[in-house]
Amino acid sequence: MSVLVYAESSEGKFKKIAFEAVSYGKKVAELLGTKLSVLTINAENASTFSDYGAEKIIKVNNEKLSNFNAKAYADVIKQGAEKESADVIIIDSSNDGIYLAPLLAVNLEAGYASNVVEAPSSISPFTVKRKAFSNKAFDNTEIKTARKLIGLAKNSFGLVENKTSATEEDFTPTLAEGDFNITSTSIDKAKGKVTIADADIVVSGGRGLKGPENWGMIEELADILGAATACSKPVSDLGWRPHSEHVGQTGKPVAANLYIAIGISGAIQHLAGINSSKVKVVINTDPEAPFFKAADYGIVGDAFEVVPKLIEKLKEF
Ligand code: FAD
């Protein structure tokens, strides 16, 4: 019996949530009184997971897996789980994780809980707290199957240092030829730009910015903060920004540490997608804008005056 965490990476680098998932995995392994194994695919510096409680690191390196392919990755994780006799398998509730989870759950005959925010407090019942109804509520879900698959929500558990000495091994899973039918892949981001899913900080603009020509200040602010840029739905519908930046209930979910909303009213469908963010800052001319009710900090003011001043100030640091 063991706990296996799949540590998600992109272009060879581990995502922050991978460390959070390993911290979470350690807590579950302690509850079960078992060891924690971490599976990595085509990523470097896996040994750092021993700082977060990993006791065994299983490294898969295969160029056929260099692009994310849900079926192939699910096959690999299944083989890793079987090799480790893992009863609890932990992945991220990320964009990739959402594709991976149903395949993996079927492969492993495991009960699956997504968007999990807390470790269970007992083995039986094995109940996890998870976000529900577009992150507006929590529910407690008991996973009753022998094997359990958990999708961890970003920024829910945090990083917990727990130094161990981990063994490392290379693992060569069997890859089915039918797993690979990707003919080309384009990465939906400019070189060096932070993606919304990975960002700690997101700078988001709404219709209050009047037009695409005014996004220069949004990008400049994002660059200074090392942030991703995002937008409300009408902004992408109008073609001011690409659809990949649309956030909210029908767009991408955001669980950043800091979400800065500029010229966005705060409609319920927008808030549903961003309310997992820790700190929300709102800049809006209308003091009655609904976003101020959800904000941690608010500036009632014209974005065209406030944002340049903010940029000027941040440049001093
Ligand atoms: P507006 O509502 O037009 O608000 C603009 C804001 O900018 C106003 O509050 C105004 O006071 C402020 N402003 C104006 N000038 C300035 C200035 N100079 N400086 C600062 N502030 C200024 N929306 C999403 O965003 N994401 C979704 O996923 C989404 N899904 C939806 C799903 C459904 C089924 C439906 C029906 C709607 C959905 N919507 C979604 C749309 C949503 O209801 C709102 O219409 C939308 O979020 C409004 O976008 P906005 O705040 O940019 O624009």
Residue 142, strand partner residues: 127
Which ranges of the chain would DSSP assign to H, the alpha helix? 16-32, 70-83, 95-108, 216-225, 233-237, 268-274, 291-294, 303-315
Residues in the chain: 317
Mutate which of 221, 246, 265, 281 for ligand 1? The one with the most ligand atoms within 8 Å of its CB, which is 265
Residue 311 marked in a binding site = no
Residues 93-109: tens digit of each pLDDT: 988 898 899 999 999 99
pLDDT at 300 over 90: yes
Is the CB–ligand 1 distance for residue 260 below 6 Å? no
Q: Which residue has the tokens 């392919």?
A: 69
Q: What is the ipTM of this complex?
A: 0.99
Q: Give a three-class secondary structure readout of 167-204.
A: EEEECCCCCCHHHCCCCCCCCCCCCCCCCCCCCCEEEE
**Ligand 1 atom with the shortest distance to the CA of 232:** 25
- Look at residue 133 in the predicted model and tell me its pLDDT: 82
What's the DSSP call for residue 46? G
Q: Rounded to whole angstroms, how far apart are CA atoms 133 and 271? A: 12
> Is residue 273 part of an annotated ligand binding site?
no
In angstroms, what is the span from residue 291 Cα to ligand 1's centroid? Answer: 10
Question: Is ligand 1 within 6 A of the CB of residue 304?
Answer: yes
0.90 exceeded by the pTM?
A: no
User: What is the predicted pLDDT for the residue at 191?
Assistant: 47
Peptide linkage before 125 cis (omega within 30 of 0): yes
Rounded distance between C-alpha atoms, residue 109 and residue 259, angstroms: 38
Q: Is residue 263 within 6 Å of ligand 1 at its C-beta?
A: yes
Question: How many other β-carbons are positioned within 10 Å of the β-carbon of residue 67?
Answer: 14
Query: What tokens does 104 get?
Result: 């993996």
Q: Which of 269, 275, 306 to mutate to test the pocket of ligand 1 (most atoms within 8 A of CB)?
A: 269
Looking at residues 69-90, what average pLDDT do you find? 95
